[in-house]
Amino acid sequence: MSLSDVPTGEKVRLVDVMAGRGLKMRLAAMGLLPGIEITMAQNGGAGPVVIYVRNGKMILGRGAARKVKVKIF
């Protein structure tokens, strides 16, 4: 499933980023790498999502979130 489909409060693990090199590298630099644990802080169903990752809070545009493939713990 995509990160954009994860409901608020759910904890997931990143599987892959299905995106071009640019976004992939940017997310990697921010620590969004395969295997990392992500907690959904806010997902309103539209617009960007807020996630907790590596003890920090981040905003991800919906487009970017759609490209992040995750699996539920």
User: What is the contact surface with other proteins in residues (CB under 8 A)?
Assistant: 19-31, 33-34, 36, 41-42, 44, 46-48, 50, 54-61, 63-64
Nearer to other proteins, 56 or 72 (CB): 56
Q: Distances in Å between the alpha carbon of 6 and those of 21, 29, 34, 66?
A: 24, 22, 17, 10
Residue 17 in tokens: 């980023």
Nearer to other proteins, 1 or 34 (CB): 34
Residue 41 in tokens: 């802080």
Give min distance, CB of 52 to other proteins, in A.
9
Residue 23 amino acid letter? L
Give min distance, CB of 43 to other proteins, in A.
10
